[in-house]
Structure 1
Amino acid sequence: MASANVLLSLHLLLLLEGSLSATFNIINNCDYTVWPGILSGAGTGQLQTTGFALPRGASQPVDIPSSWSGRLWGRTSCSSDPAGDNFTCATGDCGTSRLECSGSGAAPPATLAEFTLDGSGGLDFYDVSLVDGYNLPMLVVPKGGSGGNCTSTGCLVDLNPACPSDLRVVRSGRSVACRSACEAFGSAEYCCSGQYGNPDTCRPSQYSQFFKNACPRAYSYAYDDSTSTFTCAGADYDITFCPDTTSQKSGQDGNSTAVPLPLVNNTMVFLGGDEVSSSASSAVLPSVSVSRIMLLATSWLLIRLLFA
């Protein structure tokens, strides 16, 4: 009888844990195939899939266990030999020579979606980070959650054409990614290490401001927490590469990928010389053309000359 009660308790526990899990619906709205990679954090088991191909217009649900933490990113311009070996990617490569990342992370630069599910207070903590650089636009949208600050976050802009020349990653004459200043120069000031390893001494640089101005809700440097970390409870998440910001396109499950991305509360953001003010978190971040990003890059260069 006691053993039966133990089995029943274990069964109920498994059911409870299952109810705390989430589904990541990964959507590719790019004009090309993206190969998502997934890395579980320390002390968290690897998922059943850690890498796969996602063709243009496709979506793929991934079941996530409760209390999971880790990161997800998109790999681009990937190829392998006819046998499927020697798999490599121009950006976001995880170095395994295979489609699966199998516990290896993204080689920077790469746009990262980071999660800690069922954390403090039962909340999910999530962000989109450009601290390790940028390779493609990404949007994270919580679905069906409550509590916390359940809001969309990400970087909607293609930064590669406007990336500063000393951060740019070029393949076949084309800019395919934008490095962080830490990776490009390795200095403690940009890496927030050594004497700069705290929020009082590590401050935004002209390089991190380039990312922040274009993507105000994404992490731009290591201590950018106040405007870049969001919380929600009991949500599933749509994670979209190259999100559509001009029309209501839908993924295969019928969910819209064109969700408004709010600006930072009570701030003013400059996008290509246009002043956009926000007095509420429901303000919509407008789509930004390449020409406006180029103006932003020009402004960045002028700032750099002033501080040289």
Structure 2
Amino acid sequence: MSIFKNLSISFFLFATLFINFAHAARFNITNNFPYVVWAAAVPGGDRQLNSKESWPLDMNASTTEAAFGLELGAFFNGSGRGSCQTGDCGGLLQCQAYGAPPNTLAEFALNQYLNLDFFDISLVEGFNVPMDFSPTSIRPYFNGCIKGITCIADINGQCPTELKTPSGYYNNPCIVFKTDEYCCNFGNCGPTTFSEFFKNL
């Protein structure tokens, strides 16, 4: 049973991630859904979050590639083994790799070019939840960036039928069709009807 199958517009801004730029970075992962979710961080592991509960997670300042996602419909036993409808981390509560698609990803890299931190929300692994990813403080040389990013459209509700999973989530066209037109592994790749549809949302 999918607990998010009938996602409505009134539930936007569910998973909120705030970044605090300092010597290292603290991420506060907040569950704004009205139900339990499992937040997954690579590196960092997983944690069950009840509604309105937050998980403060400190990241090393040298973290160059990392991501957060949410596992939905998850059940784990006392030894941390189980499965999730979406975002599953190989049946493990403590994620060792990115969760299985479909999975909305909040990605970041710290102290990169000119000591800047970079962050984005990616649908390359599909979409399972609306997300907000926002800085709560800035470093003086971060050029005053205080704007966050959001992906809060009802993508699951508007998703083309060809891309929907049986539980009602959106899969990336590359995952579904496995052709270079949608995966763009090499050569010149242009926008597709699907990529334009989701970009417009």
TM-score past 0.5 threshold: yes
Work out which of the residue numbers 210, 213, 229 in structure 1 matches 2:200: 213
TM-score by length of 1: 0.55
Percent identical residues: 35
1:162 is aligned to 2:158:
yes
Which stretches in structure 2 are left out of the alignment for 5+ residues? 1-21
Which one has the bigger strand percentage? 2
Give the residue type in structure 1 aligned to 2:200: N
Q: CA deviation at 1:84?
A: 4.5
Task: Indicate the RMSD between aligned Cα atoms, in angstroms.
Answer: 1.5
Contact 2:137 2:146 (8 Å CA) reproduced: no
Q: Distance in 2 between matches of 1:203 and 1:21?
A: 38
Residue type of the partner of 1:170? P
Structure 1 match to 2:12 = none
CA drift of 1:204 comes to 2.0
Q: Point out the structure with max Rg over C-alpha.
A: 1
Structure 1, gaps ≥5 residues long: 1-18, 41-48, 196-200, 215-308
Contact 1:20 1:118 in 2 (8 A): no
Partner of 2:118: 125
Partner SS for 1:53: strand
SS in 1 for 2:197: helix
- How many aligned residue pairs are there? 176
2:49 aligned partner? 54
Determine which structure has the larger helix proportion and give its number. Answer: 1
Q: Which amino acid aligns with 2:165?
A: V
| Deviation beyond 4 Å, 4+ runs, structure 1 | none
Taking CA–CA contacts closer than 8 Å with sequence separation of 6 or more, which of the two structures ends up with the larger relative contact order?
Answer: 2
Q: How does 1:173-184 map to 2 (within 5 A)?
A: 175=168, 177-184=169-176
Is the CA contact 2:81–2:93 (under 8 Å) kept in the aligned structure 1?
no
CA distance in 1, matches of 2:59, 2:154: 29
Provide, for residues 266-286 of structure 1, a one-character-per-residue CA deviation record: whole Å limited to 9, x for no partner: xxxxxxxxxxxxxxxxxxxxx
| Residue aligned with 1:203, SS | coil
Corresponding letter in the other structure for 2:111: D
The aligned counterpart of 2:177 is 185
Give the C-alpha shift of residue 150 in structure 1: 3.6
Deviations 1:16-49 (A, max 9, x none): xxx5101000000012111111114xxxxxxxx4
Q: Equivalent residue for 1:29? A: 32
Distance 1:209 1:134 in 2: 15
Aligned mate of 2:147, from 151, 154, 157:
151
What letter is aligned with 2:196? Q
